[in-house]
């Protein structure tokens, strides 16, 4: 967004000098701004404002809406299912950002080294990313089956007791995160790999001369220099994880019970199964606030690590 | 609305007179005027499944009979429900005929006034064949199709009774008799459970929402009623608690692990693999159970009624029907289509293929039709017996989905050891305000 407005306003600056005329005339850059403005108004501002407006109404599909003020919002904290779904979303997001980040960085370091067949193996590694989430979900559902699934068979090979995976409230979220991690670790790997490739070789050479260990080279040279990339990766992962719907819906539909019901799934039920549009809108507004808060926290963190100083690379 | 009725009557009276003349005074009710709306095109929105298939496969017969073209589409159930509601709300639905799930949509559709009243058409000899009379539909069908003013808002199409499927081979191996009561069923299930062999006595839906259709079989047989006279929900009363205890006992002690995530599909997989000895679910699953490509227990399946509880024996009943959009401009033509879809010819095909059970007694009781049923006669008998003990399987309220989700989640939670009374109370604390809000609006 900020990128767009920057490029739109930049060419206008020389015009300010020529605008010293009597009477008011529209700035000459308007025609250039207008299309973007219309699009933004139509697809972002208007739906957003309309959602807020709907959230102030008791609005059931099939019945006329009535204005209820903040009643829908007041209902939220006492709605146990909603409160639980916020918690589920946070846990699910935290895990599905952290694990791919960790494993993806590790994979990137491995694939950054030169070894035979590297290109082929890299290609193999990013395959999960290319598959359709719903198809993946159906395959994993079969693998998770407590009696007939392959995962329990694999556990039995190493002498571990069978698990209930997505069929038990305590293990359902970790099991779903397993699918997310499997699919999205390659993305983090790709981003970090790009970062590693952009680091010049001089720092490593001087570190080598100074007698740094491999861990020290990674900790004090690679890690700070790829930090900006890690932030980008975690931002992308966070957005993906917060809005995740397909995998959860296809595998558990929020179950067992409501143990894996995230805000998104609950929202879907309220809007399209219960047809309670007003209340659903209130949930969306709160959900939006939550996403903004998470993104802001992440951005703050990024600023605190001075990535601009370190990251001449970006 | 009134204007069109009047003019239609006037027109019909004229043509009826002409028809009577040509029959030279034959006074009995003649066939309806099938050809009157020739040239009309109807739009139909169907839920995906054997009923939709049966309609689409034979639709040419209807077009030949009436000259009416039919454009129909089958959409997966959940999406079909959403699409119908959204289109109805818009005020200009794109379809004339809608396939509705009574147990989910009845009250919502009635309250919103989306469906046309068919009572007048049913009495009109120019529109209705002589064999189609209200009393031919089973009691449950009429209960579903009529609103509280007694208007017929749809034609009942196919009924779904819950029955008990059992594995005869496993029963014989352990010398167990077919249970007639819940107590016998629990005892049988305990005998039949053998975790070492990987076989279990009972399987059924544990998944939230889906599980409610099974749970109500217990609830009804423990003497439960969904609503009191004032419309208050009663599903956390003593009957519900006892029913949940029974449900909990069966699904935790004698059912496969992971059953709390099972819908009908996973349950059926256990049953067809010979891993579960008993399964309570809708009558419609007989075809896959008897299909050698999908089942390992072909010819070994027994079919019987849901066993009796301490307060009676009922089969929780669900069903679907065909309604006509109030906003449709082709109501009479659409009515002809609905009538044809629930006709004896179409109903017999449905029954004989095992794709559904017609609500019409004249079809079920017809010896010729019954002879044509390819599934085991035992299955047919369980259907006929269940019809006699049928009772609506879900409360007739608008927020059915919320009911199933919230109470269903509580019921599922008991499978991880939670206390039935506490869970039901908790679920109803959440559900009651929702019900009140929906009835008020």
Q: Supply the DSSP string of A101-166, one letter for each residue.
A: HHHHHHHHHHHHS--TTHHHHHHHHTHHHHS-HHHHHHHHHHHH-TTT-HHHHHHHHTTPPP--GG
Using a pLDDT cut of 70, give the percent of chain A over it.
Answer: 90
* Residue A282 and residue A55 in contact, taking contact as beta carbons nearer than 8 Å: yes
Distances (CA, A) of A58 to A28, A76, A276, B235, B298: 46, 14, 8, 26, 53
Give the nearest chain A residue to B411 (CA atoms).
A257
**Distance in Å from the first CA to the final CA of chain B:** 26
Domain check: are B432 and B326 in the same one? no
pLDDT at residue A74 greater than cutoff 80 = yes
Domain check: are B156 and B295 in the same one? no
Domain check: are B66 and B91 in the same one? yes
Using a pLDDT cut of 90, give the percent of chain B over it.
Answer: 76
Domain check: are B144 and B74 in the same one? yes
Distances (CA, A) of B28 to B18, B19, B24, B31, B199: 15, 12, 12, 10, 61
pLDDT at residue B223 greater than cutoff 80 = yes
Domain check: are B150 and B188 in the same one? no
The b/e string for A136-152 (b: 16+ C-beta within 10 A; e otherwise) is bbeebbebbbbbebebb
Report the alpha-carbon distance of residue A189 to residue A113 in Å, rounded: 13
Instruction: Say whether pTM exceeds 0.80.
Output: no
Report the alpha-carbon distance of residue B402 to residue A274 in Å, rounded: 7
* Residue B397 and residue B232 in contact, taking contact as beta carbons nearer than 8 Å: no
Q: Where are the domains of chain A?
A: 75-310
For the stretch A45-60, pLDDT in tens is 999 999 999 999 988 8
For the stretch B29-44, pLDDT in tens is 568 899 999 999 999 9
Residue A20: per-residue pLDDT: 54
A62 and B406 within 8 Å at the Cβ level: the answer is no
Q: Is B88 on the interface with A (CB under 8 A)?
A: yes
ipTM exceeds 0.90, yes or no:
no
Considering only CB atoms, which chain A residues are within 8 Å of B438?
Answer: 60
| 3-state SS, residue B124 | coil
Residue A306: per-residue pLDDT: 56
Of B207, B273, B430, the CB nearest to A256: B207
Domain check: are B151 and B13 in the same one? yes
Domain end: B350, B373, B391, which one?
Answer: B391
B86 and A253 within 8 Å at the Cβ level: the answer is no
B89: enclosing H helix or E strand: helix B77-90
Domain check: are B37 and B134 in the same one? yes
Of B78, B402, B412, the CB nearest to A274: B402
Q: Mean pLDDT of all residues in chain B?
A: 90
pLDDT at residue B118 greater than cutoff 70 = yes
Give the nearest chain A residue to B259 (CA atoms).
A167
B206 and A162 within 8 Å at the Cβ level: the answer is no
**Distance in Å from the first CA to the final CA of chain A:** 19
Give the nearest chain B residue to A271 (CA atoms).
B82
Q: Is A61 on the interface with B (CB under 8 A)?
A: yes
From B222's Cα to the closest Cα of chain A, the distance in A is 24
* Residue B73 and residue B46 in contact, taking contact as beta carbons nearer than 8 Å: yes
A257 and B208 within 8 Å at the Cβ level: the answer is yes
Residue A149: per-residue pLDDT: 83
A164 and B207 within 8 Å at the Cβ level: the answer is no
From B390's Cα to the closest Cα of chain A, the distance in A is 27
Look at strands B276-282 and B154-167 and give their pairing. antiparallel
pLDDT at residue B25 greater than cutoff 50 = no
For the stretch B60-77, pLDDT in tens is 999 999 999 999 999 988
From B41's Cα to the closest Cα of chain A, the distance in A is 27
Q: Is A257 on the interface with B (CB under 8 A)?
A: yes
Residue B252: per-residue pLDDT: 94
Task: List, in order, residues 6 or more apart from A150 with CB less than 8 Å away.
Answer: A142, A143
Mean per-residue pLDDT, A223-239: 90
Task: List, in order, residues 6 or more apart from B123 with CB less than 8 Å away.
Answer: none
For the stretch B101-113, pLDDT in tens is 999 999 889 988 9
Give the nearest chain B residue to A277 (CA atoms).
B86
Backbone phi, psi, residue B280, to 5°: -105, 120
Residue B140: per-residue pLDDT: 87
Residue A273: per-residue pLDDT: 87
Backbone phi, psi, residue B284, to 5°: -75, -5
Residue of B108, B261, B408 to mutate, interface with A, max A Cβ within 10 Å: B261
Helix-helix angle B102-112:B77-90, to 10 degrees: 0
Of B78, B89, B206, the CB nearest to A61: B89
Mean per-residue pLDDT, B173-199: 94
Per the structure, the complete domain to which residue B234 belongs is given by 161-316+394-440
pLDDT at residue A249 greater than cutoff 70 = yes
Residues 246-285 of B with CB under 8 A from A: 256-262, 266, 269-270, 273, 275
Among A128-132, B23-27, B119-123, the range scoring the smallest mean pLDDT is B23-27
In words, the CATH class of domain A75-310 is mainly alpha
From A185's Cα to the closest Cα of chain B, the distance in A is 28
Domain check: are B120 and B257 in the same one? no
Query: Domains in chain B: how many in total?
Result: 2
pLDDT at residue A17 greater than cutoff 80 = no
Of A61, A63, A274, the CB nearest to B399: A274
Domain check: are B323 and B275 in the same one? no
Domain check: are B369 and B386 in the same one? yes
For the stretch B340-372, pLDDT in tens is 999 999 999 999 988 889 999 999 989 999 999
From B430's Cα to the closest Cα of chain A, the distance in A is 7
Domain check: are B220 and B241 in the same one? yes
Domain check: are B196 and B247 in the same one? yes
From B161's Cα to the closest Cα of chain A, the distance in A is 24
- CA Rg, chain A, in Å? 25
B257 and A167 within 8 Å at the Cβ level: the answer is yes
Of A62, A147, A257, the CB nearest to B256: A147
Residue A304: per-residue pLDDT: 72
Considering only CB atoms, which chain B residues are within 8 Å of A81?
Answer: 406, 430
Mean per-residue pLDDT, A276-282: 93
């Amino acid at each position: 967004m900020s990128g767009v407005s920057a490029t739109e306003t930049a060419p206008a600056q020389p015009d300010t000098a020529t605008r010293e005329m009597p009477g008011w005339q529209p700035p000459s850059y308007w025609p250039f701004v207008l299309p973007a403005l219309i699009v933004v108004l139509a697809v972002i501002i208007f739906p957003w404002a309309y959602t807020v407006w709907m959230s102030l109404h008791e609005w059931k599909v099939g019945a006329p809406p009535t204005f209820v003020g903040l009643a829908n919002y007041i209902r939220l904290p006492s709605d146990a299912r909603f409160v639980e779904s916020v918690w589920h979303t946070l846990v699910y997001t935290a895990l599905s950002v952290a694990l791919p980040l960790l494993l993806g960085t590790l994979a990137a370091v491995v694939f950054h080294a030169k070894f035979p067949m590297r290109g082929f193996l890299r290609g193999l590694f990013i395959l999960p990313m290319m598959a359709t989430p719903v198809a993946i979900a159906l395959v994993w559902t079969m693998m998770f089956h407590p009696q007939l699934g392959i995962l329990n068979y694999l556990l039995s090979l190493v002498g571990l007791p069978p698990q209930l995976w997505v069929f038990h409230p305590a293990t359902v979220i970790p099991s779903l995160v397993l699918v997310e991690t499997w699919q999205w670790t390659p993305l983090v790997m790709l981003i970090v790999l790009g970062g590693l490739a952009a680091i010049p070789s001089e720092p490593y050479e001087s570190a080598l001369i100074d007698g740094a260990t491999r861990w020290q080279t990674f900790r004090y040279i690679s890690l700070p220099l790829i930090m900006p990339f890690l932030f980008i990766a975690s931002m992308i992962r966070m957005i993906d994880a917060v809005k995740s719907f397909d995998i959860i819906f296809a595998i558990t539909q929020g179950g067992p019970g409501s143990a894996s019901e995230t805000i998104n799934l609950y929202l879907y039920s309220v809007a399209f199964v219960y047809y309670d549009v007003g209340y659903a809108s209130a949930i969306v507004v709160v959900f939006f606030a939550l996403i903004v808060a998470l993104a802001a926290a992440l951005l703050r963190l990024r600023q605190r690590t001075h990535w601009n100083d370190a990251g001449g690379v970006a | 609305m009134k204007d069109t009725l009047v003019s239609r009557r006037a027109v019909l009276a004229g043509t009826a007179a002409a028809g009577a003349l040509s029959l030279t005074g034959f006074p009995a009710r003649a066939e309806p005027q099938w050809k009157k709306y020739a040239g009309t095109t109807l739009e139909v929105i169907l839920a995906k499944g054997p009923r939709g298939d049966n309609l689409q496969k034979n639709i040419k017969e209807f077009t030949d009979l009436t000259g009416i073209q039919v454009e129909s589409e089958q959409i997966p159930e959940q999406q079909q429900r959403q699409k119908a509601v959204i289109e109805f709300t818009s005020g200009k639905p794109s379809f004339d005929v809608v396939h509705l799930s009574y147990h989910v949509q009845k009250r919502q559709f009635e309250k919103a006034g989306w469906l046309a009243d068919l009572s007048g058409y049913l009495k009109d000899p120019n529109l209705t064949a002589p064999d189609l009379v209200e009393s031919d539909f089973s009691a449950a069908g009429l209960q579903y199709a009529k609103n509280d003013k007694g208007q017929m808002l749809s034609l009942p199409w196919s009924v779904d009774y819950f029955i008990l499927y059992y594995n005869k081979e496993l029963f014989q191996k352990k010398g167990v008799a077919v249970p007639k009561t819940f107590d016998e069923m629990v005892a049988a299930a305990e005998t039949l459970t053998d975790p070492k062999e990987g076989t279990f006595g009972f399987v059924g839906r544990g998944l939230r929402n889906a599980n409610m259709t099974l749970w109500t079989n217990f609830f009804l047989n423990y003497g439960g009623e969904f609503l009191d006279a004032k419309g208050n929900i009663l599903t956390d009363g003593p009957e519900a608690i006892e029913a949940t205890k029974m449900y909990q006992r069966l699904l935790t002690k004698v059912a496969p692990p992971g059953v709390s995530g099972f819908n009908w599909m996973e349950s059926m997989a256990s049953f067809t693999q010979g891993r579960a000895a008993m399964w309570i679910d809708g009558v419609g699953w007989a075809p896959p159970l008897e299909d050698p490509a999908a089942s390992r227990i072909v010819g070994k399946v027994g079919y019987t009624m849901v066993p009796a509880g301490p307060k009676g024996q009922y089969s929780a009943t669900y069903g679907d029907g065909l309604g006509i959009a109030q906003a449709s401009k082709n109501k009479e033509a659409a009515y002809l289509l609905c009538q044809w879809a629930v006709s004896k010819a179409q109903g017999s095909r449905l029954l004989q293929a095992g794709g559904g059970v017609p609500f019409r007694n004249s079809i079920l009781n017809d010896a010729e039709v019954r002879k044509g049923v390819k599934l085991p006669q035992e299955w047919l008998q369980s259907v006929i017996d269940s019809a006699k003990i049928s009772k609506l399987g879900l409360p007739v309220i608008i927020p059915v989905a919320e009911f199933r989700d919230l109470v269903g989640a509580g019921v599922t939670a008991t499978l991880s050891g939670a206390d039935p009374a506490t869970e039901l109370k908790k679920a109803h604390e959440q559900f009651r305000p929702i019900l009140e809000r929906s009835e008020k609006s």
